[in-house]
Amino acid sequence: MDGIGPRQKLWLERSDGRVVMSDYRLRLLELIAQSGSLAQAATALELSYRRAWGKVRELEENLGYRVVDSVVGGPGGGHTRLTPEGVELVGAYRRFQERARAAVDEIFAEEFPR
């Protein structure tokens, strides 16, 4: 199938259906880590600050641990960063996502040869 390619949306669910990670949540957490700012991450995703904050809080509730940490004040003003557990989750999910994409591309090429 010429010019045709596979697409994939991934997420991780608890057995009760609650989402504990997803491609979208990865992007949100990576943007927070890169910018050090929930407000900047929210803007990049065209979310309100309130909505971005709600998504992080819901994710933490589903996971049962904190993934971001807000530091208020200090010389450069407040900022938000990932917790060590958040860094670990982002790394593991990023590898999971990249390997899954590569696997799906390979399987597609085998099942739909030109």
Give the binding site for its own copies (CB under 8 A). Answer: 1, 3-15, 20, 92-93, 95-96, 99-100, 103-104, 107-108, 111-112
Find the shortest distance in angstroms from Cβ 47 to its own copies. 22
DSSP class of 2: T
- 7, 50, 58, 76 from 73: Cα distances, Å: 43, 20, 25, 7
* Closest to its own copies by CB, 38 or 59: 59
Find the shortest distance in angstroms from Cβ 78 to its own copies. 31
- 6, 16, 28, 74, 94 from 66: Cα distances, Å: 34, 20, 15, 22, 18
* Closest to its own copies by CB, 69 or 88: 88
* Closest to its own copies by CB, 65 or 77: 65
